[in-house]
Structure 1
Amino acid sequence: MQVSVENTSALERRMTIAIPAERIETAVNKRLQQTAQKAKIPGFRPGKVPMSVIRQRYEGDARQEAFGDLVQSSFYEAVVEQKLNPAGAPTIEPKSFEKGKDLEYVAIFEVFPEFTVAGFESIAVERLSADVADADLDNMLEVLRKQNVRFEATDRAAQNEDQLNIDFVGKIDGEAFAGGSAQGTQLVLGSGRMIPGFEEGLVGAKAGEERVLNLTFPEDYQNLDLAGKTAEFTVTVNSIAEPKLPELTEEFFAQFGIKEATLEGFRTEVRKNMERELRQAIKTKVKNQVMDGLLAANPIEVPKALLENEVNRLRVQAVQQFGGNIKPEQLPAELFEEQAKRRVVLGLIVAEVVKQFDLKPDEARVREMIQEMASAYQEPEQVVAWYYKNDQQLNEVRSVVLEEQVVDTVLQKATVTDKSVSYEEAVKPVQAPAAD
């Protein structure tokens, strides 16, 4: 087998492969012999059909099948011989495929980029530290109470945080517009559900009262037909209900599956969850800084095949998350290209760090992570056992641990600054930079 390789770009390879005619005929004859054993032809017993008859009827199909098999096997042999690492399936262009002659074809494909990860010393990381103070715990208990708020009817005037039942009709230039009217809608004042001024305009209203609100839709309103326009809303307040926070009782604790249904037991369980969230938030922020630093220090070219595959994965995820009667391929690729490129590049960089430093998943850390996740469940031992009985789930945890070990490896060489902050600041998500 003769092989020649041409570099047509930084990553694209054009490989020409020639397979000797003898190998082709051997493959074709093997196919024909397999066919002869099971062919059913009138006038002949199975397995007794003369090869001349088999060849006359089936040689064309056998040759095509042999072509497919030979291309697949010879391509694999060639990339191994040439020490190439394809990043996707090749495009095959047959040059010649005639009986009695060598088979020659061209395979066009991309290879994974070859690089060494560098620039660890240029990466700056701010590592936060925080504790769950009693005040933080008290605030979280209030959040949980508000999440389980009940509303009770009241005769007083409406205030922020009250729940109103309203009817409203919106008009622009005296004409009702689509989506601008509703009946029996429940609205909590101060929730920000409605356009600016709507909820504020109902503060002080009483049940049975009608109010007319003259408001302007924001310039960046999602419905472009309404953006920036002035509308008149006639609102009727049907009823007003005031919020009633639940008391911290056994009944309230039971909603959260707390075994020890006491205030102390509840506070202990909530604190554990907050500490778990805190550790994860700090870890995630450190990891994001490390990954951003690796990206900045290691610009690499991305194989188109890997980028397309990742775009398609993100399309499928978007459809699964948001639903709707839309096929993944109908979503524009441009929506996902930036995120896909980041994922692909980081995947290549992380894999190369693992290779450079010969990293293996630390099984002790794997068990520790599984136990950490299991602690959020009522029967943690069963959860741990489940992970160790499911290879796919276990390997996913190993991949996460291996990525953490990559982060630790980078941190040993990066410039790390430790900073003590409040719990609230530590768990607050990092805001994405505003678009220009």
Structure 2
Amino acid sequence: MDVQVEEISTVAKKLSFTVDPKAVDQKLKSSYAVLRKEVKLPGFRKGKAPREVLEQRFGDDVASKAAEELARELVAEELVKRKLEPVSEPLLEGGPLKRGKPFKFSVTVELKPEITLGEITGLQVTVESAEMTEDELDAHLETIQQQARSLVPVTEDRALQAGDVAVATVVLKAEGYDDHRREGVHLGLPDDASSDFLNELGRGLKRGETRTGTVTVPAEYFDATWAGATCEASVELNEIERIELPPLDDTFAAALGH
């Protein structure tokens, strides 16, 4: 790879990159490998579509996205190598990747100006009070309590109630997707909303019972393959737990080092 640096001003540089065809081909290969795992095309099992078919359907998008990813990776490495600290997002200029061809692009980087401070004496500084309000203190203590909580098994034979935490096995199913199965999923934790879309299915279940229904997976779901999908979900209740918070006493304070 060849990199040329042009001084635009005292606070800006232009870096021009030429990437050899071998690196371009490797980036395209890895990009299509990722795409192959994500898409399902008619006539092919998921993950089995040939690259030629993928290029016909998604070639322009893959080439553009791969170019941007490769450019950003190389720019980040070069900035570290040259000890350059940009003050804004570098401005990239370049086209898509082409198999067997070198990739040329440039980036303009705005840098921190060099500032020499004179001697500073005789200044007075007023420091604002950092005291917490009572509401802020209560909220802070509640957060610390939640971080130190325990989950205690519920031994009596009863259904899941409001305030309980469910330990469940969850299965998501939808046409065109491989089944998504998770065991030991906690439903109902107050500071973890990642599985809240399943709470209604678990409501009122007893151990060993299962309920199935249609849900929409939130966009921020940890598995991007399922994010935003509408699917059939089943929740099997394995255990019921309750949250036990430590009391706000001297023992709790001592455990925190106070």
TM-score class normalised by the smaller sequence:
0.3 to 0.5
TM-score computed with the length of structure 1 as normaliser? 0.29
Which of the pair is proportionally richer in strand?
2
Which of the pair is proportionally richer in helix?
1
TM-score computed with the length of structure 2 as normaliser? 0.47
Larger Rg: 1
